[in-house]
Protein backbone atom coordinates (compact mmCIF):
# COMPACT_ATOMS: atom_id res chain seq x y z
CA UNK A 1 0.00 0.00 0.00
CA UNK A 2 1.27 3.48 -0.85
CA UNK A 3 2.18 5.64 2.12
CA UNK A 4 0.91 9.14 2.80
CA UNK A 5 2.83 12.28 1.84
CA UNK A 6 4.73 14.37 4.34
CA UNK A 7 4.08 18.02 3.48
CA UNK A 8 5.69 20.86 5.41
CA UNK A 9 4.60 24.48 5.41
CA UNK A 10 7.45 26.80 6.33
CA UNK A 11 7.94 30.51 6.32
CA UNK A 12 8.61 33.65 8.22
CA UNK A 13 6.60 34.69 11.25
CA UNK A 14 3.23 36.14 10.16
CA UNK A 15 3.49 34.72 6.64
CA UNK A 16 0.14 32.97 7.09
CA UNK A 17 1.48 29.46 7.70
CA UNK A 18 -1.11 28.43 10.25
CA UNK A 19 -4.07 29.88 8.34
CA UNK A 20 -2.94 28.27 5.10
CA UNK A 21 -2.19 24.91 6.71
CA UNK A 22 -5.66 24.93 8.30
CA UNK A 23 -7.32 25.85 5.00
CA UNK A 24 -5.41 23.17 3.12
CA UNK A 25 -6.24 20.53 5.73
CA UNK A 26 -9.95 21.28 5.56
CA UNK A 27 -10.02 21.34 1.75
CA UNK A 28 -8.17 18.03 1.48
CA UNK A 29 -10.39 16.44 4.12
CA UNK A 30 -13.48 17.62 2.21
CA UNK A 31 -12.20 15.92 -0.91
CA UNK A 32 -11.77 12.64 0.98
CA UNK A 33 -8.03 12.71 1.74
CA UNK A 34 -7.03 11.25 5.10
CA UNK A 35 -5.16 14.21 6.51
CA UNK A 36 -3.43 14.89 9.79
CA UNK A 37 -2.05 18.18 11.16
CA UNK A 38 1.26 18.54 13.00
CA UNK A 39 2.99 21.60 14.35
CA UNK A 40 6.50 22.25 15.60
CA UNK A 41 7.40 23.17 18.20
CA UNK A 42 4.94 20.76 19.82
CA UNK A 43 4.56 22.51 23.17
CA UNK A 44 2.69 19.60 24.79
CA UNK A 45 5.72 17.36 25.37
CA UNK A 46 8.46 17.70 28.02
CA UNK A 47 10.88 19.34 25.58
CA UNK A 48 7.95 21.40 24.26
CA UNK A 49 7.32 22.83 27.72
CA UNK A 50 10.95 23.95 28.02
CA UNK A 51 10.68 25.54 24.58
CA UNK A 52 7.41 27.21 25.55
CA UNK A 53 9.02 28.72 28.68
CA UNK A 54 11.90 30.00 26.53
CA UNK A 55 9.56 31.51 23.93
CA UNK A 56 7.47 33.20 26.63
CA UNK A 57 10.64 34.63 28.15
CA UNK A 58 10.33 32.87 31.51
CA UNK A 59 13.56 30.88 30.97
CA UNK A 60 16.81 32.05 29.47
CA UNK A 61 18.73 29.40 27.53
CA UNK A 62 21.98 29.37 25.62
CA UNK A 63 21.39 29.66 21.83
CA UNK A 64 22.86 26.19 21.28
CA UNK A 65 20.86 24.57 24.05
CA UNK A 66 17.54 25.90 22.71
CA UNK A 67 18.53 24.86 19.20
CA UNK A 68 19.09 21.28 20.35
CA UNK A 69 15.79 21.30 22.26
CA UNK A 70 13.87 22.33 19.11
CA UNK A 71 15.60 19.49 17.27
CA UNK A 72 14.83 16.98 20.05
CA UNK A 73 11.20 18.11 19.89
CA UNK A 74 11.12 16.99 16.24
CA UNK A 75 13.02 13.74 16.86
CA UNK A 76 10.65 12.64 19.60
CA UNK A 77 7.73 12.91 17.15
CA UNK A 78 9.44 10.84 14.48
CA UNK A 79 8.11 7.39 15.35
CA UNK A 80 4.49 8.51 15.43
CA UNK A 81 4.94 10.63 12.29
CA UNK A 82 6.34 7.67 10.37
CA UNK A 83 3.63 5.38 11.60
CA UNK A 84 0.88 7.78 10.45
CA UNK A 85 2.55 8.14 7.03
CA UNK A 86 2.86 4.37 6.73
CA UNK A 87 -0.82 4.04 7.59
CA UNK A 88 -1.60 6.21 4.56
CA UNK A 89 -2.29 9.59 6.19
CA UNK A 90 -1.16 12.75 4.45
CA UNK A 91 0.64 14.71 7.16
CA UNK A 92 0.59 18.53 6.96
CA UNK A 93 3.16 20.05 9.23
CA UNK A 94 3.40 23.69 10.29
CA UNK A 95 7.20 24.36 10.60
CA UNK A 96 9.99 21.77 10.68
CA UNK A 97 13.78 21.56 10.64
CA UNK A 98 14.10 24.51 8.24
CA UNK A 99 12.76 26.85 10.92
CA UNK A 100 15.33 25.39 13.28
CA UNK A 101 18.21 26.15 10.93
CA UNK A 102 16.97 29.56 9.80
CA UNK A 103 16.29 30.94 13.29
CA UNK A 104 19.58 29.76 14.79
CA UNK A 105 21.76 30.58 11.77
CA UNK A 106 20.27 34.10 11.83
CA UNK A 107 21.62 34.38 15.40
CA UNK A 108 25.09 33.72 13.98
CA UNK A 109 25.51 29.98 14.65
CA UNK A 110 27.27 28.18 11.77
CA UNK A 111 24.89 26.73 9.19
CA UNK A 112 26.46 23.26 9.22
CA UNK A 113 26.28 23.13 13.02
CA UNK A 114 22.62 24.18 12.90
CA UNK A 115 21.75 21.49 10.40
CA UNK A 116 23.64 18.64 12.06
CA UNK A 117 21.12 17.60 14.77
CA UNK A 118 18.29 17.36 12.22
CA UNK A 119 20.21 15.26 9.68
CA UNK A 120 18.32 11.99 9.21
CA UNK A 121 14.87 13.18 10.29
CA UNK A 122 12.02 12.03 8.03
CA UNK A 123 12.36 14.20 4.92
CA UNK A 124 9.30 16.06 3.67
CA UNK A 125 8.06 15.03 0.23
CA UNK A 126 7.14 18.65 -0.36
CA UNK A 127 8.10 21.83 1.48
CA UNK A 128 6.02 24.93 0.79
CA UNK A 129 7.91 28.05 1.77
CA UNK A 130 5.58 31.01 2.26
CA UNK A 131 7.70 33.94 1.21
CA UNK A 132 7.27 37.58 2.20
CA UNK A 133 9.18 40.22 0.26
CA UNK A 134 9.91 42.57 3.20
CA UNK A 135 12.23 39.93 4.65
CA UNK A 136 14.24 39.83 1.42
CA UNK A 137 17.09 41.88 2.81
CA UNK A 138 17.05 40.35 6.28
CA UNK A 139 19.51 37.67 7.30
CA UNK A 140 16.82 35.09 7.93
CA UNK A 141 15.29 35.69 4.50
CA UNK A 142 18.66 35.11 2.87
CA UNK A 143 19.14 31.81 4.70
CA UNK A 144 15.69 30.57 3.68
CA UNK A 145 16.10 31.49 0.04
CA UNK A 146 19.75 30.51 -0.30
CA UNK A 147 21.02 27.59 1.70
CA UNK A 148 17.75 25.93 2.61
CA UNK A 149 16.00 26.22 -0.75
CA UNK A 150 18.97 25.01 -2.74
CA UNK A 151 19.73 22.06 -0.50
CA UNK A 152 16.26 20.69 -0.03
CA UNK A 153 14.45 18.43 -2.44
CA UNK A 154 10.84 19.24 -3.14
CA UNK A 155 11.17 22.89 -2.07
CA UNK A 156 8.56 25.24 -3.55
CA UNK A 157 8.45 28.97 -2.85
CA UNK A 158 4.97 30.48 -2.62
CA UNK A 159 4.40 34.23 -2.85
CA UNK A 160 2.51 34.76 0.41
CA UNK A 161 2.03 38.48 -0.20
CA UNK A 162 -1.13 37.85 -2.24
CA UNK A 163 -4.67 37.55 -0.93
CA UNK A 164 -5.53 34.52 1.16
CA UNK A 165 -7.53 32.71 -1.53
CA UNK A 166 -4.85 33.14 -4.23
CA UNK A 167 -2.21 31.70 -1.90
CA UNK A 168 -4.51 28.81 -0.92
CA UNK A 169 -5.18 27.97 -4.56
CA UNK A 170 -1.47 28.04 -5.43
CA UNK A 171 -0.70 25.72 -2.51
CA UNK A 172 -3.51 23.34 -3.44
CA UNK A 173 -2.16 23.02 -6.98
CA UNK A 174 1.29 22.07 -5.69
CA UNK A 175 -0.11 19.59 -3.20
CA UNK A 176 -2.61 17.78 -5.41
CA UNK A 177 -0.10 15.44 -7.05
CA UNK A 178 1.10 14.28 -3.61
CA UNK A 179 -2.11 13.31 -1.88
CA UNK A 180 -2.94 10.10 -3.73
CA UNK A 181 -0.19 8.07 -2.05
CA UNK A 182 3.56 7.80 -2.51
CA UNK A 183 5.34 4.58 -3.44
CA UNK A 184 8.88 5.62 -2.49
CA UNK A 185 10.08 5.02 1.08
CA UNK A 186 10.20 7.96 3.50
CA UNK A 187 13.37 9.94 2.76
CA UNK A 188 15.99 11.08 5.29
CA UNK A 189 16.59 14.78 5.63
CA UNK A 190 19.94 16.07 4.36
CA UNK A 191 21.47 12.58 4.37
CA UNK A 192 21.96 12.04 0.64
CA UNK A 193 22.84 15.63 -0.11
CA UNK A 194 26.43 16.66 0.04
CA UNK A 195 25.44 19.53 2.28
CA UNK A 196 28.62 20.16 4.17
CA UNK A 197 32.11 18.85 4.78
CA UNK A 198 30.90 17.78 8.22
CA UNK A 199 28.97 14.80 6.88
P1 LIG B 1 5.19 29.23 16.36
O2 LIG B 1 4.65 28.32 17.43
O3 LIG B 1 5.14 28.61 14.99
O4 LIG B 1 4.61 30.63 16.42
O5 LIG B 1 6.75 29.41 16.69
C6 LIG B 1 7.14 30.07 17.84
C7 LIG B 1 8.45 30.78 17.63
O8 LIG B 1 9.52 29.84 17.67
C9 LIG B 1 8.57 31.52 16.32
O10 LIG B 1 9.13 32.82 16.56
C11 LIG B 1 9.51 30.71 15.51
C12 LIG B 1 10.36 30.02 16.53
N13 LIG B 1 10.80 28.69 16.09
C14 LIG B 1 10.04 27.70 15.61
N15 LIG B 1 10.75 26.60 15.38
C16 LIG B 1 12.02 26.91 15.75
C17 LIG B 1 13.23 26.16 15.78
O18 LIG B 1 13.31 24.99 15.41
N19 LIG B 1 14.33 26.82 16.24
C20 LIG B 1 14.29 28.12 16.67
N21 LIG B 1 15.43 28.67 17.12
N22 LIG B 1 13.17 28.85 16.65
C23 LIG B 1 12.05 28.25 16.19
| Concatenated DSSP letters of 92-110 | EEES-HHHHHHHHHHTT--
Ramachandran bin of 126, using left for φ above 0, alpha for ψ from -120 to 50, beta for the remaining angles: beta
Residue 88 predicted with pLDDT over 70: yes
Instruction: Assign 140 a pLDDT band (cuts: 50, 70, 90).
Output: confident
41 CA to middle of ligand 1, Å? 6
52 CA to middle of ligand 1, Å? 10
Task: Return the higher-pLDDT residue of 165 and 12.
Answer: 165
pLDDT (0 to 100) of residue 20: 96
Residue 63 CA: nearest ligand 1 atom is 21
Query: Where is 157: in which H helix or E strand?
Result: strand 155-159
Mind spelling out the 3-state secondary structure of 159-178? ECCCCHHHHHHHHHHHHHHH
| 71-90 per-residue burial string, b: 16 or more CB within 10 A, e: under 16 | bbbbeebeeebeebbeeebb
pLDDT (0 to 100) of residue 197: 46
For 39-53, 107-121, 127-141, which range has the lowest pLDDT when averaged over its residues?
Answer: 127-141
pLDDT (0 to 100) of residue 194: 52
**Which residues, 6 or more positions from 164, have their beta carbon under 8 angstroms from its beta carbon?**
16, 19, 20, 23
Closest Cα to atom 5 of ligand 1: 41
Residues composing the chain: 199
13 CA to middle of ligand 1, Å? 8
Residues whose beta carbon lies within 6 Å of some atom of ligand 1: 13, 40-41, 55, 66-67, 70, 95, 99-100, 103-104
Residue 155 predicted with pLDDT over 70: yes
Please name each of the domains of the chain with its CATH number: 6-40+77-178 (3.40.50.300)
Omega cis (within 30) before 27: no
Reference 178, options 194, 151, 162, 154; nearest CA is 154
Average pLDDT over residues 172-183: 96
Residue 199 predicted with pLDDT over 50: no
pLDDT (0 to 100) of residue 169: 97
114 CA to middle of ligand 1, Å? 14
Q: Dihedral (C-alpha) 86, 92, 95, 100: value to the nearest 10 degrees?
A: 10
- Looking at the DSSP assignment, which residues form a beta bridge with residue 3? 182
Average pLDDT over residues 118-136: 91
Rounded distance between C-alpha atoms, residue 191 and residue 199, angstroms: 8
Ligand 1 site-directed mutation target among 21, 99, 139, 189, most atoms within 8 Å of CB: 99
Amino acid sequence: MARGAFIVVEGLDRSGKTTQTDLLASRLATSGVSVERRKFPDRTTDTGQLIDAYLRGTTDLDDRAIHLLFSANRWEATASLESRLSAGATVLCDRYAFSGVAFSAAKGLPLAWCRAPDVGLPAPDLTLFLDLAPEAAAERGRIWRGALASETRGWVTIDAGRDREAVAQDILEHVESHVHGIDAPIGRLWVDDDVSPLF
